Amino acid sequence: MRRHAVAATVALAMSGGEGLATARGAAVVADPAAGAKIAERGSARGAPACSSCHGDEGEGDPVAGFPRLAGQVAAFLVHQLDAFADGQRPNPVMAPIAAALTPQQRADVSAHFEAFQAVSPPTPPQPAQAAARGYALAAYGDWPRGLPACSQCHGLKGEGVGAAFPMISGQNALYIESQLKAWRSGARRDDPMGLMRAVAAKLSDGDIAAVAGFYAGAAVWAGQPSAAAAEKKP
């Protein structure tokens, strides 16, 4: 398995997104080895081991709907932890955990999980109609309803683009579904410019189930997850 040979700079210069709070405090140089310890054993300030829910390799738990973290860009993961801690992303489980991690520790665990190869959980095939609907939304959107395609921001294969648009291919369906619903209801507010809230507001329950199922079953992006971060090292 691939890990970072060199610590990645996590406080990536975000390309100006007003809603993406990567610049909370000074740049932190992440230490994935320190992150690995927290992921396996928890932190001194009481954060439990990440692996207890997200799995030893950040693979997530499709049955419980805990997200896969493996291979996700570290700056994106840091942003999620920040958003849990400050309530932009309300979550009774993650809020106290994120709050118990220092900015350095958030960067460390994020770099740790970025370095894992993302894998897809085994996913039962979707009914044909839902599969077609999910594919259509992913590839083409539904422009007469003002819906751009998922792939227009998350990449053709849902592999993720930069620090703001996460990898969604191979993410578990239960998690994708819960997040789309959280954006639709406005409970989740950490998306830059409200982009996901605007999209989710136009999705029906059927749309959400179809697109979540589609991406859960989509072949995961098979590149090297740390390559993107490596290029951005100063």
Partner 1 sequence: MSAPVSTGSLAGLSVALCLLAAAAALAQSPPAPSYTPPARSEVPDDAFGKLVKQGELIFLDTAAQAPAFVGNRLRCASCHLDDGRHPDSAPMGAAYLAHPTRRGAEGEAVTFRRRVQTCFLTSMNGAAPPAGDPALEALEAYAIFLTRGAPVGLKAPDHGYRRLNAPGVLDRAAGKAVYEGKCALCHGLDGQGQEARDGQLTFPPLWGPQSYNWGAAMAQAPNAAAFIKANMPLGLANALSDEEAWNVAYYIDTQERPQDPRFNGSVAETRRAHHDFPFDFYGLTVEGATLGAASLPSGGATRK
CB 65 within 8 Å of CB 178: yes
Q: Is 140 exposed, middle or buried (0-12, 13-18, 19+ CB in 10 A)?
A: middle
CB 74 within 8 Å of CB 82: no
C-alpha–C-alpha distance, residues 67 and 173, integer Å:
9
Distance in Å, CB of 94 to partner 1, minimum: 24
User: Could you count the other beta carbons within 10 Å of the beta carbon of residue 152?
Assistant: 15
Q: Residue 36 or 200: which CB sits closer to partner 1?
A: 200
* Interacting residue ranges for partner 1, rule: CB under 8 A: 14-18, 20, 140-141, 143-144, 146-148, 152-157, 159-162, 164-165, 167, 192-195, 198-199, 221, 223, 225, 227-228
Q: Residue 42 or 194: which CB sits closer to partner 1?
A: 194
Q: Residue 61 or 140: which CB sits closer to partner 1?
A: 140
Distance in Å, CB of 144 to partner 1, minimum: 7
Q: Residue 105 or 225: which CB sits closer to partner 1?
A: 225
**Given its phi and psi angles, is residue 186 left (phi above 0), alpha (psi -120 to 50 degrees) or beta?**
left
CB 197 within 8 Å of CB 186: yes
Distance in Å, CB of 2 to partner 1, minimum: 14
Distance in Å, CB of 47 to partner 1, minimum: 28
Distance in Å, CB of 196 to partner 1, minimum: 8
Q: Residue 29 or 195: which CB sits closer to partner 1?
A: 195
Two structure tokens written together for 222: 């098979």
